[in-house]
Chain A
Amino acid sequence: MRRVRTELWLRRWLVGIVVCLGCLAAGSPANAADFDRQQSLALTGVEWPAPEEVWEVVALKNYNTRLVVLSTALLGVAAGLVGSFLLLRKRSLMGDALSHATLPGIGIAFAIGASLGGTGKSLPLLLAGATVSGVIGVLVMLAIRNSTRLRDDVAMGLVLSVFFGIGVAILGMVQTMPQASAAGLESFIYGKTASMVKSDFFFIASVAAVSALIAVVFFKEFTLLCFDDDYAASQGWPAFGLDLLLLGLVTAVTVIGLQAVGLILVIAFLITPPTAARFWTERLPKMMGISAFIGALSGWLGASLSALLPRLPAGAVIVLVAASLFVISMFFAPARGVIGRWLRHRRLRKKVNRQHLLRAAYELLEARTRQNGNGKREMPIINVPFSRADLQSKRTWSPRELARIVRSEIAMGHLEDAGEGRLRLSEEGFGEAARITRNHRLWEVYLVKHADIAPSHVDRDADMVEHILEADLVRRLEEELRDRDAWIPSPHLIQ
């Protein structure tokens, strides 16, 4: 038992380390390049780039492009992984609140840095300040949620607006400091992707790698937390600690995102890729993989586009690429996309309509046979033609709806035109109708016998389930009811 658990841990750490190494390997080409050219990307490029320029950017030949593209792609991977858990906890907007809550810390760190001498714009100090105030914001949020009647959304909005207000007030103060201009601080709000330098890149790459590693290593625990935190707590898992760890990861991703794409657009990095990935699969590991891929793809495409075309802010382009991927996923993903769902829904509706029609026809024939046989029940049912009006009276179909269903049944070969506007079940259709009716009755009998449903009500209840009865379920019903007769009488009157 113990060995199995150790092995499990080993495997998870291995997976994590592979992810980590992958991140670093992606970073190493930048290392080998020359470090001199650090001019802003925003200044390069013409209105429409030549093909060789496109190739240069896509193949990451330019040093600056490589830095920017790789770090936004890595950020996309980390945000995609962490954001998946946030989405499942229904706390997507947490990143929003958190990123706004970093502003006071940035202001205070700037003031401290400036009063110690220097410009105050040392990046590690500013980001440390951002982290501290982000963490305080998260703690306040959790405290409000746990100690008052107010819900998550109120706690988030409250922390967001109050912290941002404090931040604006602090920036308003420190901007008047004589030592240094704080003008650059606003770049945290809108991002300054293009002017990224080597040290920024290594910082972003390592934080992203560590966040991704933790998200992978604690995959099982976070999954449990997302799906049922009360159960996790009752099983002895440190649910609150895990919650804090998850929010710590969000803080880390947000803080490096501040630097890369800005305070507002980093929110999109945490929300859009996981939500898009959700359309493609029902399984969490797959979803996280897809989400990381979408995050990386939008970071790569967005940063490349903004490098190619002049005056396109990278943060905005990245968000728009992610949004386009979201729209594509929302409509075209086969698993949960809008079109896939609509097609499945239509197929089911058609199947239900067909089964209703065939059963109605079969019950009509049954009633005819019984009339002719003086009420004797065990007579074989004879397939005779019937009129549309007879069918019409069996269910609340509109005439147009009925005509449509009949048309499609004729096309499928279940119904035949018997002349004089009358219809007849084909041989195949008759067999199908008998089978459907039998399933319906089996289910009804089962409900009456085992679920205590009154015979007068059972028709409607059976109606809701019978269309999805599979062959093995029918076999189990037959065994349960010890009834292998071909013909089952209806447990209720048929109008």
Chain B
Amino acid sequence: MWTSFDTWIVVTAALCAVACALPGCFLVLRKMSMMGDAISHAVLPGLAVAFLITGTRASSAMFLGAAIVGILTAIFTQWVSKVGNVDRGAAMGIVFTTLFAVGLLLIVRAADNVDLDPGCVLYGAIELTPLDVVKVGGFDIPRAAAVLGTVLLINFGIIAALFKEMRLSAFDPALADTLGFSSRFLHYLLMTMVAVTTVASFEAVGSIIVIAMLIVPAATALLLTRRLIPMIAIAVGVAVIAAVLGHASALTVPKWFGFDTTTSSGMMAAMTGLLFGLAWLFSPSEGLVIRWLIQRRGSDGLHEGASN
């Protein structure tokens, strides 16, 4: 049964999805899709250190620690690939696995008196978000929704303010540099956005949504259009639809197999995959179906031409 609880879950997830989809478009265009994955794994030591220093799970310290390590991941990756002359994918892999291992060590070493489960970082607990509310302007709003709404506004503000520059540096960083926009600055700005969004999201909704929402809506949109503004709009739409469908299917699909319910975050990621699959098959410009039709018509024409 759909309750106000479910509405809040979907709203929170949709806010998170849109907050991710915006920087995600630029990540995909800059060929850095794996960065979200790397950052979401690498923030573990940040969380652990913040916890060991403050001794509480107060979210502001954890947030700060994780965001710093997230940005460090981007810096280290850039540094290893430049200084060591290493392929960027490999550099990213080395940096994030090492940071993850450090985080795991710290957590296990401190595990006696600590209730810090690495699992909660991956899955999150989106089902529990409506329980933790804050008052905003007289309304009770889930804290996660308030946080993610703020992040969304910040991401939107940055992209709207620097849209021209970001577009240029996404498509032609060398030209952006010669025109006087530092594409390096924009790179790190984008990385900061991704890190902050990732960290803000996984506490509430789990990093699996973040990784999916960063890449899949943008990739889907890229199959449907070749212009940047429509691409962003489509990505945002796909993200919202996936969030709604994901929660609905988390409630219904398991019943078909005789189970009760399942985690909404996993289902939302799966739904982005479904929407991508639809675009892959039915995109009017380059879908598999339309290409198959064109090819068949073409070969029919050839046969007719041959028989005439």
- Which residues from chain A sit less than 8 Å from chain B, CB to CB? 87, 90-93, 95-96, 144, 147-151, 153-154, 156-158, 160-174, 176-177, 186, 189-190, 264-265, 267-268, 270-272, 274-275, 278-279, 311-313, 315-317, 319-320, 323, 326, 330, 336, 338, 341
Q: How far is the CA of A166 from the CA of B97 in the complex (A)?
A: 23
CB neighbours of A95 from chain B (8 A): 93
Q: Which A-chain residue is minimally distant from B32 (CB atoms)?
A: A153
CB atoms of B108 and A158 under 8 A apart: no
Interface size class of B (residues with CB under 8 A): 35 or more
The docked-state distance in angstroms from the alpha carbon of A95 to that of B90 is: 11
Beta-carbon contacts under 8 Å, B276-292 to A: 276, 280, 286, 288
B86: interface (CB < 8 Å): yes
Asked if B101 contacts A158 (CB within 8 A), the reply is: no
What is the minimal beta-carbon distance from A215 to any residue of chain B, in angstroms? Answer: 18
Secondary structure call for the B interface: helix
Q: Does B37 contact A157, Cβ atoms closer than 8 Å?
A: yes
CB pair B37–A96 under 8 Å, yes or no, is yes
B237-264 to A contact mask, C-beta < 8 Å, 1/0: 0000000000000100010010111110
Contact A166 B288 (CB under 8 A): no
**Which of A161, A278, A326 has the most chain B CB atoms closer than 10 A to its own CB?**
A161
Asked if B141 is at the interface (CB within 8 A of a chain A CB), the reply is: no
Contact B34 A153 (CB under 8 A): yes
Complex partner residue of B84 from A169, A186, A267, A279, CB under 8 angstroms? A279
B97 touches A268 (CB 8 A): yes
Cβ of A150 and Cβ of B219 under 8 Å apart?
Answer: yes
Tell me the bound Cα distance from A95 to B208 in angstroms. Answer: 18
Contact (A164, B259) CB under 8 Å given A96-B37, A157-B215: no
B50 at the interface (CB under 8 A from A): no
B161 smallest CB distance to A (angstroms): 26
B276 proximity list for chain A (CB < 8 A): 158, 162
Residues of A within 8 A of B286 (CB): 148-149
Q: Which residue on B lies nearest to A338, using beta carbons?
A: B83
Least CB distance, A354 to chain B, in whole angstroms:
27
- Beta-carbon nearest neighbor of A310 in chain B: B109
Q: A96-B93, A189-B122 are in contact. Are A148 and B273 (CB under 8 A)?
A: no
Judged by a CB distance under 8 angstroms, whether B212 is at the interface is: yes
The CB with the most chain B CB atoms within 10 A, among A93, A272, A279, A330, is that of A93
Residue B80 interfacial (CB < 8 Å): yes
Q: Nearest chain B CB to A211's CB is how many angstroms away?
A: 19
| Given A147-B288, A166-B273, A330-B84: A275 in contact with B94 (beta carbons within 8 A) | yes
A144 partner residues in chain B, CB cutoff 8 A: 280
Q: Is B68 part of the binding interface, using a Cβ–Cβ cutoff of 8 Å? A: no
List of B residues within 8 angstroms of A313 by Cβ: 104-105, 108
Q: Using a CB-CB cutoff of 8 Å, which residues 205-249 of chain B contact chain A?
A: 206, 208-209, 211-212, 214-216, 219, 222-223
Residue-wise, chain B 14-35 has the 8 Å CB interface mask toward A (1 for contact) of 0000000000000010011110
Annotate B80-124 by CB proximity to A: 1 below 8 A, 0 otherwise.
100111110111111001101110110011010000001100110
Task: Tell me whether A319 and B98 are in contact in the complex, defined as CB-CB below 8 angstroms, given that A96-B34, A173-B259 are known contacts.
Answer: yes
* Contacting pair B208 A275 (CB below 8 A): no
A316 to B280, CA, bound (A): 39
Asked whether A264 lies within 8 Å of B97 as measured between CB atoms, the reply is: yes
10 contacts between A and B (CB under 8 A): A148-B223, A150-B219, A153-B31, A158-B276, A164-B269, A165-B266, A165-B267, A313-B105, A320-B98, A320-B105
Q: B85, A161: Cβ atoms under 8 Å?
A: no
Nearest residue in A to B280 (C-beta to C-beta)? A148
Q: What CA separation (Å) do A172 and B90 show in the bound complex?
A: 32
Partner of A165, one of B257, B273, B280: B273
Q: Which residues of A contact B269 (CB under 8 A)?
A: 161-162, 164-166, 168-169
Q: Cβ of B272 < 8 Å from any Cβ of A? A: yes
Contacts of B250 in A (CB 8 A): 169, 172
Task: Kindly state whether residue B270 has any CB partner on chain A within 8 Å.
Answer: yes
**B contact set with A: CB distance below 8 Å:** 28, 31-34, 36-37, 41, 80, 83-87, 89-94, 97-98, 100-102, 104-105, 108-109, 111, 118-119, 122-123, 206, 208-209, 211-212, 214-216, 219, 222-223, 250, 254, 257, 259-263, 265-270, 272-273, 276, 280, 286, 288
* Least distance between A435 CB and chain B CB atoms (Å): 34
Chain A residues with CB below 8 A from B254, complex form = 173
Known contacts A161-B208, A165-B265: A91-B259 contact under CB 8 Å: no
A154's partner among B92, B97, B215, B272 (CB-CB below 8 A) is B215
Known: A158-B215, A164-B269, A165-B266. A176 touches B260 (CB 8 A): yes
Residues of B within 8 A of A189 (CB): 119, 122
CB closest residue in chain B, given A169 = B266
Contact between A161 and B37 (Cβ–Cβ < 8 Å)? yes
A320-B100 Cα distance, complex, nearest whole Å: 10
A326 contact set on B, CB distance < 8 A? 94
**In whole angstroms, what is the CA distance A275 to B95 when docked?**
12
Bound form: Cα–Cα A268–B99 in Å? 11
> Which residues in B have their C-beta under 8 angstroms from that of A163?
273
A90–B211 CA distance with the chains assembled, in angstroms: 21
Distance between Cα atoms of A270 and B223 in the complex (Å): 31
Q: CB-CB < 8 A to B268: which residues of A?
A: 165
Contact of A272 among B36, B94, B122, B209 (CB under 8 A): B94
Please measure, in the bound complex, the distance between the C-alpha atom of A171 and the C-alpha atom of B265, giving whole angstroms. Answer: 12
- Chain B neighbourhood of A171, CB < 8 A: 263, 266
Known: A169-B262, A176-B259, A311-B109. A157 touches B34 (CB 8 A): yes
Q: Return A30 CB to nearest CB of chain B, in Å.
A: 26
Contact indicator B119/A186 (Cβ below 8 Å):
yes
Q: A93-B89, A169-B270, A177-B259 given. 20 additional CB < 8 A pairs?
A: A90-B89, A148-B280, A149-B222, A153-B33, A156-B34, A161-B269, A162-B276, A166-B269, A170-B266, A173-B254, A264-B97, A274-B90, A312-B108, A313-B108, A315-B101, A319-B101, A320-B101, A323-B94, A323-B97, A330-B80
Q: How far is the CB of A495 from chain B (nearest CB, A)?
A: 30
A275–B32 CA distance with the chains assembled, in angstroms:
19
Question: Quick check: B273 and A158 within 8 Å, CB to CB?
Answer: yes
CB distance from A154 to the nearest CB of B (A): 5
Q: Which residues of A have CB within 8 Å of B209?
A: 165
Q: Look across to chain A and name the residue whose beta carbon is closest to the beta carbon of B291.
A: A147
Chain B contacts for A275, CB-based, 8 A: 86-87, 90-91, 94
Complex contact A168–B119 (CB within 8 A): no
B254 CB to closest chain A CB, in angstroms?
Answer: 5
Measured in the bound complex, the distance between the Cα atoms of B86 and A90 in whole Å is 10
B101 touches A154 (CB 8 A): no
Q: Report B21 CB to chain A, min CB distance, Å.
A: 13
Q: Are B270 and A157 neighbours in the complex by a CB distance under 8 Å?
A: no
Q: Which residues from B are CB-within-8-Å of A274?
A: 90
